[in-house]
Amino acid sequence: MAGAKQPVRILRNLNAKIAALPMIATALVIFVGCTVWTIVHSFTKSRLLPKLEFVGFDQYERLWSTRRWLISIENLAYYGIGSLVFSLTIGFLLAALLDQKIRFENTFRTIILYPFALSFIVTGLVWQWILNPEFGIQHIVRSLGFESFVFDPLYTPDIVIFGVLIAGLWQGTGFIMVIMLSGLRGIDGEIWKAARIDGIPKWKTYLFIVIPMMRPTFVTALVLISAGIIKVYDLVVAQTNGGPGIASEVPAKYVYDAMFRSQNLGQGFAASTMMLLSVLVVLIPWAYLEFGGRKNGK
């Protein structure tokens, strides 16, 4: 009987499975195939054109001995930690405020979300002007009489990545707010009523009841923010182009410059493979939390 049921189970939803074949083939050939091709050629001496002349781990040794790559990793760490902490915190606080059924909620939500509709290039150029000391925030404050005021992060190598972070937060926080707001609107109203009856302060209700219930929402927001952190490129190019000097370099820009400016495909492939590993570092814990947790719960 078990053997008879097996073919029936395979044939179930056969049309849907056949319709999914092109998508599966595309994923295998383009994504998996190109990923494997990139990893293989990261161990080669490819320059202008890819060639299978293996050099072992030479490209990786050179990569991790390059100051520009090390600076890009350091910048990615600063940008990433700042994006995660401030995007989640500000996004949740804004969502909690809008969840109070305030007047003109739709207007405020649209205004806060609007920057997300802009491209990173536009955002970068706008904040390049805003942070320009000659006619941006510094100029405006000094014109009010505060002559000693200094605020020029894009021109100071030690803090330039934080100027990029400000622009990234301005654009992306509204999207995180919407995700958090959808999670808050999914909380049963009876929970709030029970908390009020028991005399639990609102901040404790958020901290010990609501936030734990919003775990899937936070995980989703975390994955989306992490994906944006790893592939950050155009925002840096628009604001600083990696400057001053190489102070605001990021891995994605290093890959682009190695492959298309220096015409060193092997080095670019090696850097791309390291970026892939960073993506897996994000995806594997997410997959475990999403799917492993459900199995354990069952």
Question: Tell me, what CATH number does 111's domain have?
Answer: 1.10.3720.10
Distance CA 163, CA 131 (A): 8
- Say how many domains are in the chain: 1
Domain membership flag for residue 40: no
Domain membership flag for residue 3: no
Q: What is the pLDDT of residue 295?
A: 54
Domain membership flag for residue 49: no
Question: Which two three-digit tokens encode residue 136?
Answer: 């941006």
Domain membership flag for residue 31: no
Domain membership flag for residue 59: no
Residue 286 has pLDDT above 80, yes or no: no
Query: Do 193 and 107 form a contact (C-beta atoms < 8 A)?
Result: no
Distance CA 170, CA 127 (A): 9
Q: What are the residue ranges of helices labelled H in the chain?
A: 2-11, 14-26, 34-41, 58-64, 67-98, 105-113, 120-130, 137-143, 160-185, 189-197, 202-205, 211-213, 215-230, 234-239, 251-256, 265-287, 293-297
Minimal CA–CA distance to 175: which of 131, 216, 118, 214?
118
Minimal CA–CA distance to 94: which of 171, 177, 173?
177
Domain membership flag for residue 176: yes
pTM, two decimals, is 0.87
Q: What is the pLDDT of residue 65?
A: 96
Spatial CB neighbours of 159, under 8 Å, sequence gap ≥ 6: 153
Residue 255 has pLDDT above 90, yes or no: yes
Domain membership flag for residue 275: yes
- Cis peptide bond prior to 201, omega within 30° of 0: no
Domain that holds residue 194: 68-297
Residue 188 has pLDDT above 60, yes or no: yes
Residue 283 has pLDDT above 80, yes or no: no
Domain membership flag for residue 10: no
